[in-house]
Amino acid sequence: MTSFDDVGDLEEIKRGIRLSIIYPLKRPDLYELYKRGIKSSILLYGPPGCGKTLLARATAGEVDASFSNIKIPDLVSKWYGETDRNIQRIFKEARKNAPSILFFDEVDGIGSHKDVEHHERRILDTFLTELDGFEDRGDVMILAATNAPWNIDPALMRPGRFDKLFFVPPPDYRARMEIFRIHLRGRPVADDCDLKELAKLTENYSGADIREVCDEAALFPLEEAIKGKPSRCISMDDLLKAVKRVKPSLPYWHRIAKFRITERRMEDFFPEIFEYSQKLEKIRISGYI
């Protein structure tokens, strides 16, 4: 079962999730004592592959809750015509299997501020009604995610709708080291593997890119062993070769993010994304990427 130990860094977000979702389930008495209402819904936004889904799955693991991963675009296309009933069914099932974590991915696909189709509007309305119905939701906790926050319908961003909004950032140097450690854990790894050096070489790599580097590196000794050589550990050399093969995915997302945020004049709403994109731009201009 996935837990917070499988998620590198992101300590502030883990703390927020503990306070909004985990402790209310474990110690409702304390929330009652301090008259801190329980409103367990969190929106995670940020670049792809940096841990949003992983965090949601790990949250379910931490409280031994059932976990449903619902992609909003699937809802919109698949259930045309009977959307209300299906959204209600999702929440009803979750109540039945409580404690439950409902994870709604790609929430920018619902509503949105452009002209929306009638049935999409209805999905949004039903979704908002369920989101607002906290009193009778029992121990059903909501996590939602998007990597296009500039597309989210303003109705969803309104204060009070989600208990907390968290930017899940690209991993920095320390986080990358930790993510390498997590993904090399349990594999045979040679003593010469230098996580500091790997973290230095993987600026602009997402967590998913780093996992791919580790998977790719493992293929070298694995292939040799299949061909009959004695099995050996993954070496630093394997990892360095893998880093060269796997290209960082974050610059592409940041370029789009900056374009969209500027186009919609939303720089004030997403300063973290905007500043990071500008930093990347400077690096690119000086010829590094």
Residue ranges that bind ligand ATP, judged by CB under 6 A: 7-10, 48-54, 105, 145, 147, 179, 182, 207-208, 211
Which is closer to ligand ATP, CB of 108 or CB of 139? Answer: 108
Our CB check for ligand ATP shows the closer of 161 and 181 to be 181
Task: Tell me the closest approach of the beta carbon of residue 81 to ligand ATP, in angstroms.
Answer: 27
Cβ atoms of 254 and 276 within 8 Å: the answer is yes
Nearer to ligand ATP, 7 or 261 (CB): 7
DSSP 163: S
Q: Shortest Cβ distance from residue 9 to ligand ATP (Å)?
A: 6
- Measured from the CB of residue 232, what is the shortest distance to ligand ATP in angstroms? 24
User: CA dihedral in degrees (231, 234, 238, 242; nearest 10)?
Assistant: 120
The DSSP bridge partners found for residue 100 are: 66, 140
Which of 48/99 has CB closer to ligand ATP?
48
Q: Dump strand ranges (E) for the chain.
A: 41-45, 66-71, 100-105, 140-146, 164-167
CA distances, 69 to each of 74, 89, 254, 283 (Å): 11, 14, 25, 36
Structure tokens at 214: 């580790």
Q: Could you give the CA distance from residue 140 to residue 127 in angstroms, rounded to a whole number?
A: 14
Q: Give whichever of 24 and 207 is closer to ligand ATP, judged by the CB atom.
A: 207
- Residue 197: CB atoms within 10 Å: 14
Shortest distance (Å) from residue 169 CB to ligand ATP: 10
Shortest CB 208 distance to ligand ATP, Å: 3
Min dist CB 28 to ligand ATP, Å, is 28
DSSP state of 21: I
Cβ nearer to ligand ATP, comparing 46 with 221: 46
Spatial distance between the Cα atoms of 289 and 280, rounded to a whole number of angstroms: 8
The residue whose Cβ lies closest to ligand ATP is 207
Q: How far is the CB of 57 from ligand ATP (least distance, A)?
A: 8
> Which residues neighbour 127 within 8 Å (Cβ) at sequence distance 6 or greater?
87, 104, 110
Nearer to ligand ATP among residue 38 and residue 239 (C-beta): 239
Structure tokens at 174: 């320390």
